[in-house]
Amino acid sequence: MGATRTLRLGLLGCLLLLPGLRGQEPAACARGWAALERGCYGVFRRELSWRRAEAFCQRFGAGTHLASVHSAEELRAIAGLLAARPGEDSEEEEEEEDDWDDGIWIGLHRPLGSRRWQWSDSSEVDYGYWHRQPERRRRACAALRDSADFMTWYSEACAERKPFVCKSSA
């Protein structure tokens, strides 16, 4: 196990313990999902359009959508989950890592006919970290940029197929 991977796994462990350190119990999450302060997060390699990814997330129950991000801390935690993806040392997984190069869907979108961005879970858009000002498109969706260690967002056509992050608040 390389030093980088060990560091990432240690960081991930700290992030998972953060709610407990603040006097909160981490949420009981489904198998394979990670408990962070704002809920449970599942990362999916399957490449889907934004709309299909949102529908996929909703199948996990009420309160589950593509991930909304409300703070720099939450963005860092999600980026940590993506950076600590399992199997990154194996050759078989290296081919799949190329999938991340096209970004990762999150729940932010600008619906057709709207000038405003909104989260798929209807929560308030109170935080943003755009790589550059989003392009003007009739309908657009936001993704995390792999080239920026998933710490910035960019606007993309919603029909593009990408891996995605689901978030459950339940």
- pLDDT single digits (tens) 72-87: 999 999 999 988 765 3
Only one residue has tokens 């408990």, namely: 35
Average pLDDT, the chain: 78
Chain length of the chain: 170
Q: Look at residue 24 in the predicted model and tell me its pLDDT.
A: 45
pTM for the model: 0.76
Q: If you average pLDDT over residues 88-111, what whole number do you get?
A: 65
Helix (H, G, I), strand (E, B) or coil at 158: coil
Q: Look at residue 75 in the predicted model and tell me its pLDDT.
A: 94
CATH number for 3-168: choose from 3.90.226.10, 3.10.20.30, 3.10.100.10, 2.40.128.110: 3.10.100.10
Between CA 54 and CA 31 the distance in angstroms is: 20
Q: Look at residue 150 in the predicted model and tell me its pLDDT.
A: 86
pLDDT digits (tens, 9 = 90+) for 122-143: 999 999 888 766 666 667 999 9
Please report which confidence band the pLDDT of residue 105 belongs to, taking 50, 70 and 90 as the band edges: very high
Q: Look at residue 114 in the predicted model and tell me its pLDDT.
A: 85
Between 151 and 66, the more confident residue is 66
100 near 163, Cβ under 8 Å?
yes
One-letter identity of residue 128: G
Between CA 74 and CA 70 the distance in angstroms is: 7
Between CA 117 and CA 38 the distance in angstroms is: 21
